[in-house]
Structure 1
Amino acid sequence: MGVMSKQLYDKLFGPRAPCKQLHWAFDESCMKFIWTFYSNTFIGCVKFFLPLSILQICLNYKHLDGPLLLEFLKTFLSRTSSYILGCYLMFSWNCTLSNIFGGVTFYELALMPGFLAGFFSLIGTRRARILDVLLEFIMVLETIIRRAQYHDILKVTDIRLTTIFALNNALLIYLLTHRNKEENLPLTFWFYVPSSVQNKMLPCSHKTHCLKYCLEGMIKQPQLLVQLLRSSKNLNLGYFLCTYVGINRALTCYLCGRRNFSPVYSSLIAGLLSGLSFRIEPNLQLFCLGITTSLQLIYAKLEQKFTRLRKIPTLLPLQLICNGVLSHERLLAPDICPKYYMNLGSMLTCGQIDKLCETMFQKSLR
């Protein structure tokens, strides 16, 4: 659709634009619009989250009991209610400000209500909140890179992404390999976690033969590999995953077992060279995931060293900031907003958010 800057917003709608001028144009009143949006969001959330909850129950049917079923139900209700209340707050906020001050500014339209809507995440469980923050933080990083690229501040190329990914991967593998027993691994979306090196004198951290260990990393589930090969879209991603894990394990075994390298240097070298396999399938989301995981592990080590950091609440502020930024980009910069967040917003609102964007950007084309 495009990207709306503050200058363009002020030119089209003025410093403070009435809510009806912005996106209520296809409805008679604010209350009617909010009710339409609210009801569609409720339907969209139920359609999206209910099948996920049923799938979780089916996958855990062997261990299903009262407390686990209650946890699934609580997660479903908390996610659904937080999204519905967040959407309601966003648009009722705009109408309220419009009636009091005569309109809403560029940053009051989506950034501020999105920020405040993040408080509704407190309804959910801590585990669900951590996973939501991780996902949102990854998308915010992607948004920052896309916006820098859009304004010609940063030129993103596959070679640059691969180089930075490889350097970050060296640090990431080092942090994952040299974690202590008492150091709990934080919740993460990273797809490969090597065994931690507890005994510095052992050449390898695995019990099986090195060749078998490397092959297991490349082809752990042959039936899954066959399914990946059927789809051309997944082929490059499958090549990347196999190459990444295979190179990592092979180099670690070779350097530690044959060359008697220090585990520190072997993990850094293995991480650096395996990270070059990113060139097979350069992916901005995967790049941001690697950066986020490294930041997670660094902060976990800082928390272990400086216990006072554990008393600082970081989860809620991160959630508020990320939710505000993504809400702002979703409504005012659809071309920059991550595709996952775009599609998620369309599904959860049954396409109502797309109508809002079209209404606003159609005026900019006149």
Structure 2
Amino acid sequence: MVIISKPLFYDKLELAISCRELVHPDVGSCTKANLKLCSEDFLKGVFYFYLPIHLLQVILDYRKIKRKHFLKNLLQNVLRSECFGVSFGALIIATICLQRHFTERFHYYSLLLLPGVVAGISLRWEHPRNRQLNTILWASLVVEALFKNAYYFKIFSYSRIKETLIFMIFSSLLMHLFVNRDKKHIPFNLWFYKPSHPKKFKFTLWNYFIEISKYFGFGYGLNSVRCVLKDAKMVFKNPLQFVRKTIFNRRNVKFGIIIGAYVGLFRGVSVLLQKYTDFERANAAIAGLVAGLSYYIQPNMTVLTTAIVTVFQILCQQIATKPKFRKIPFAELIFMFCNGILFFNRIVAPVTCPKYYMNMLRITGNGELEKIYVRLVNKYLP
């Protein structure tokens, strides 16, 4: 895949290139082209992308199905997601067209960064709960992209030990914040383990074994669900082979071991520190540091990025709760900023772009958003 550098962009891209040549070659009018893309491609693509997500929500909330407003709320969420996805694609196209009409030529950052930032406004359509989830996910994808770019462009080399040390540091910070902060100041997050204070934990070998087993099962189950979502077609084509591949999948077992070992190390060390030391406030940080060693079993970028993002979430919450900052829509602004970076990364260096984001653009745009990169590279930057 071609890496589009700034010198290459200005050297190869023609000065007079229009948005029609780059974005909508089949339709002359920008407005008609955008409406055509929305009705024929984005509407369909967004529906296919969100269908399994909404079905999963129905399965998780199966106890609420008989409630009076369940179907109404579900339909509202589906429509919100549809509006979010369609306006996301429409804003990307509209931003590219508008900037070409108002400027003499396409510019590197305005063409490749600005559309992603503007498209982030579409998050306002989503349900508040989904806004939070999307912002956390996009922030995690940006952290993943930073690591991938650092490895690919050799800013620093990949090392299992280095990654483990980074995880240990953030694990230490995270556990310290969870244990020593008031729970009211801990925002909604995706971290898998929220520790109780060591004094509240009745330590027996049986309780210790049960807690480790529970989190091993959680890790194993979570990775199994990811396998199902990745290869859902096999469930219908060959159910027995699918079950065999999922149950006896080494990665699923290893992920369960990571999660179980993390909780076991944290709980064991924190109980020992509580018993034999007087540094009560530092106990969670020390235990979190030791628990981070479990990452070495099988480095996992999702676990690492979630830890980093959760630390920054908790720290940012302090700013967001101050009276003079309460009216600022932090979630939307962070989402816009992250989406700008990810869209820029997708066009400039697709080889380092997170797979989830690439798949999301491909499916929701029904392949049309991907064609921007294809036209740019094949026709203008050969």
C-alpha separation in 1, matches of 2:113 and 2:28: 23
Please state how far the C-alpha of 1:68 moved relative to its aligned partner: 4.2
C-alpha separation in 1, matches of 2:91 and 2:318: 38
Q: From 278, 289, 294, give the equivalent of 2:306.
A: 289
C-alpha separation in 1, matches of 2:268 and 2:302: 26
Give CA-to-partner distance per residue, 1:188-235, whole Å, 9 cap, x none. 11111111x3xxxxx63224x432232222211787659665112323
Q: From 128, 135, 142, give the equivalent of 1:140.
A: 142
Task: Find the counterpart in structure 2 of residue 272 from structure 1.
Answer: 289
Task: Find the counterpart in structure 1 of residue 237 from structure 2.
Answer: none
Alpha-carbon contact 1:89-1:117 (below 8 Å) kept: yes
**Is residue 345 from structure 1 mapped to residue 361 from structure 2 by the alignment?**
yes
C-alpha separation in 2, matches of 1:8 and 1:313: 37
Please state how far the C-alpha of 1:293 moved relative to its aligned partner: 0.6
Mapping of residues 52-201 of structure 1, within 5 Å: 52-64=53-65, 65-101=67-103, 103-180=105-182, 183-195=184-196, 197=197
Please state how far the C-alpha of 1:307 moved relative to its aligned partner: 4.4
Compare 231-240 and 186-195 and name the one that shifted more.
Answer: 231-240
Please state how far the C-alpha of 1:176 moved relative to its aligned partner: 0.7
C-alpha separation in 2, matches of 1:223 and 1:94: 47
Q: Which segments of structure 1 move beyond 6 Å, counting only runs of 4 or more?
A: 221-224
Give CA-to-partner distance per residue, 1:100-146, whole Å, 9 cap, x none. 54542222223212211222211222221111111111111222333
Alpha-carbon contact 1:13-1:21 (below 8 Å) kept: no
Alpha-carbon contact 1:17-1:105 (below 8 Å) kept: no
Compare 39-48 and 271-280 and name the one that shifted more.
Answer: 39-48
Task: Find the counterpart in structure 2 of residue 220 from structure 1.
Answer: 214
Task: Find the counterpart in structure 2 of residue 200 from structure 1.
Answer: none
C-alpha separation in 1, matches of 2:317 and 2:199: 25
3-state DSSP of counterpart to 1:357 = helix
Alpha-carbon contact 1:210-1:250 (below 8 Å) kept: no
Give CA-to-partner distance per residue, 1:153-191, whole Å, 9 cap, x none. 33342211111110111111111112225x243111111
Task: Find the counterpart in structure 1 of residue 2 from structure 2.
Answer: 2
Report the CA distance shift for 1:264/1:8 in structure 2 as closer, same or farther (over 3 A). same
Report the CA distance shift for 1:189/1:40 in structure 2 as closer, same or farther (over 3 A). same
Mapping of residues 249-268 of structure 1, within 5 Å: 249-257=267-275, 259-268=276-285
Task: Find the counterpart in structure 1 of residue 241 from structure 2.
Answer: none
C-alpha separation in 1, matches of 2:377 and 2:144: 23
C-alpha separation in 1, matches of 2:9 and 2:380: 9
Give CA-to-partner distance per residue, 1:229-280, whole Å, 9 cap, x none. 51123232222111111111121222224x2544323212210111011111
Report the CA distance shift for 1:285/1:223 in structure 2 as closer, same or farther (over 3 A). closer
Alpha-carbon contact 1:86-1:117 (below 8 Å) kept: yes
Alpha-carbon contact 1:16-1:105 (below 8 Å) kept: no
Q: What amino acid does structure 2 have at the position aligned with 1:279? A: Y
- Report sequence identity in percent: 28
C-alpha separation in 1, matches of 2:187 and 2:52: 27
Alpha-carbon contact 2:24-2:33 (below 8 Å) kept: yes
Alpha-carbon contact 2:193-2:263 (below 8 Å) kept: yes
C-alpha separation in 1, matches of 2:33 and 2:206: 62
Return 5+ residue gaps in structure 1 as ranges: 198-202
3-state DSSP of counterpart to 2:340 = helix
Alpha-carbon contact 2:92-2:116 (below 8 Å) kept: yes
Alpha-carbon contact 2:215-2:263 (below 8 Å) kept: no
TM-score normalized by structure 1?
Answer: 0.86
Aligned residues: 355
**Is residue 211 from structure 1 mapped to residue 227 from structure 2 by the alignment?**
no
Q: From 243, 247, 260, give the equivalent of 1:242.
A: 260
Give CA-to-partner distance per residue, 1:16-43, whole Å, 9 cap, x none. 6322443445x36455754564322211
Compare 45-54 and 141-150 and name the one that shifted more.
Answer: 141-150
C-alpha separation in 2, matches of 1:315 and 1:357: 28
TM-score normalized by structure 2?
Answer: 0.83
Report the CA distance shift for 1:311/1:87 in structure 2 as closer, same or farther (over 3 A). closer
Q: What amino acid does structure 1 have at the position aligned with 2:257? A: Y
C-alpha separation in 2, matches of 1:34 and 1:12: 27
> What do you get for the CA RMSD once the two structures are aligned?
2.7
Task: Find the counterpart in structure 1 of residue 238 from structure 2.
Answer: none
Compare 268-277 and 226-235 and name the one that shifted more.
Answer: 226-235
C-alpha separation in 2, matches of 1:131 and 1:280: 28
